[in-house]
Amino acid sequence: MPSGPLGAAIQRGRALLVATRESLPGHVGNGLRCTSCHLDAGRRQAFGSWVGVYARYPQYRPRSATVETIEYRINDCFRRSMNGTPLAADGAEMRDIVAYLWFLSRDLPIAPPPAGNRLQQWAALTADTAAGAAVYATACGKCHGLDGQGTAVAPPLWGPKSYNVGAGMTRVRTAAAFIRENMPFDQPGTLTDQQAFDVAAHVSARPRPDFPDKIHDWPNGDAPPDVAYPTLAAQRKSAAAPARAHAP
Ligand code: HEC
Ligand code: HEC
């Protein structure tokens, strides 16, 4: 840990990510903290790790169809995963969070994210939400609550205090990858791929806060198949489809 002002900024950034609601109540609209999904303060080498993240930005992302800075990406999680409001990109809180993410990425080469779709493995599976509800009852409910609303030991998975519809975790493949590698919290890695996929489908289908801006996601119409909400670009595409069907 560097000494002096830089070390102090890194430590303040880490504290904001671990105690997000307490530190930034005006920016958090649910019962989560950043490290609810980025485990061990982002240091766990599993899906959701922040190790190296600073070196992967700026990065083009199809959801926004723009080149995103790390500040933009952080604010995406504030608006969606935290169901809250973005930080000022040039404020002290953002600076300290970026300092912490830089610290987790020191000595790693600046490089684009690995090519290929890490979530492709899930395309081969078909989700069974009834089986997923059974996995939930035996492997998840004791911590997250049988009603999914969270308990003293674990945050909510659906309902008004959860991440919103626009969050990456609402995608079945993203949730499956997170759950497969990180959950159950006390026995990670014990679910099969099929169990992780089924329980992800069960959780993703539960009600949660809306994210009205989602309509503008993937403006080039290249949303992945596990995105469960309509976008303007997809509507334009399907409006054009019948015309093609009638063509000779
Ligand atoms: C509900 C779960 C959840 C919460 C809470 C959450 N995130 Fe995320 N975050 C994700 C997911 C899922 C991804 C995409 C991970 C991936 O594709 O590897 C992500 C990605 C990121 C990335 C980019 C990672 C990369 O490798 O490109 C950053 C930075 C980030 N989150 C920061 C934050 C911050 C800061 C907060 C708190 C304000 C936060 N997240 C809260 C789920 C969450
Ligand atoms: C032993 C308790 C425990 C069990 C069992 C458990 N979890 Fe978790 N889970 C946690 C804790 C604790 C966190 C947040 C970690 C933190 O804040 O540091 C978490 C975080 C999560 C998150 C991201 C944060 C959120 O609330 O959206 C998801 C998704 C999740 N768990 C899904 C599951 C699923 C699905 C199962 C069953 C397969 C499961 N968990 C089983 C304790 C548990």
Pocket of ligand 2 contains residue 16 by CB under 6 Å: no
Pocket of ligand 2 contains residue 146 by CB under 6 Å: no
Pocket of ligand 2 contains residue 37 by CB under 6 Å: yes
Query: pLDDT digits over 156-174, tens only?
Result: 999 999 999 999 999 999 9
Q: What is the mean pLDDT of residues 85-114?
A: 95
Q: In whole angstroms, how far apart are CA 101 and each of 17, 76, 119, 120?
A: 10, 15, 24, 27
**CATH topology of 4-104 equal to that of 118-241?**
yes
Helix (H), strand (E) counts: the chain: 9, 2
Task: Please state, as a whole number, how many other Cβ atoms lie within 10 Å of the Cβ of residue 122.
Answer: 23
Instruction: Note whether 158 and 206 are within 8 A (CB).
Output: yes
pLDDT at 244 over 80: no
Would you state the CATH architecture of domain 4-104? Orthogonal Bundle (1.10)
Q: Which atom of ligand 2 is nearest to the CA of 195?
A: 38
Tokens read off for 243: 């015309």
Give the contacts of 184 (CB within 8 A, at least 6 positions apart): 139, 140, 143, 190, 191
Name the CATH topology of 118-241.
Answer: Cytochrome Bc1 Complex; Chain D, domain 2 (1.10.760)
Pocket of ligand 2 contains residue 139 by CB under 6 Å: yes
Looking at every residue in the chain, the average pLDDT score rounds to 95
Pocket of ligand 1 contains residue 63 by CB under 6 Å: no
Give the contacts of 142 (CB within 8 A, at least 6 positions apart): none
Query: pLDDT digits over 63-76, tens only?
Result: 999 999 999 999 99
pLDDT at 137 over 90: yes
Confidence of residue 248 (pLDDT cuts 50, 70, 90): very low
Query: pLDDT digits over 3-27, tens only?
Result: 999 999 999 999 999 999 999 999 9
Confidence of residue 246 (pLDDT cuts 50, 70, 90): low
Pocket of ligand 1 contains residue 103 by CB under 6 Å: no
Q: What is the mean pLDDT of residues 211-218?
A: 97
Pocket of ligand 2 contains residue 199 by CB under 6 Å: yes
Total-model pTM:
0.96
117-125: long-range pairs with CB below 8 Å, 24+: 117/224, 118/177, 119/173, 119/174, 119/177, 119/224, 119/226, 121/193, 122/172, 122/173, 122/176, 122/177, 122/193, 122/197, 122/226, 123/173, 123/225, 125/193, 125/194, 125/197
Question: How much is the pLDDT for 242?
Answer: 62
Closest CA to 33 of 142, 171, 150: 150
Question: How much is the pLDDT for 117?
Answer: 83
CA gap 172, 41 in Å, rounded: 24
Q: Which atom of ligand 2 is nearest to the CA of 155?
A: 26
C-alpha of residue 238 to centroid of ligand 1, in Å: 31
Confidence of residue 241 (pLDDT cuts 50, 70, 90): confident
Helix axis angle for 172-182 and 193-204, nearest 10°, is 130
Closest CA to 181 of 161, 197, 202, 201: 197
Confidence of residue 116 (pLDDT cuts 50, 70, 90): confident
* Domain residue ranges of the chain, discontinuous segments joined by +: 4-104, 118-241
Residue of 43, 135, 185 to mutate, ligand 2, most atoms within 8 A of C-beta: 185
Q: What is the mean pLDDT of residues 221-233?
A: 93
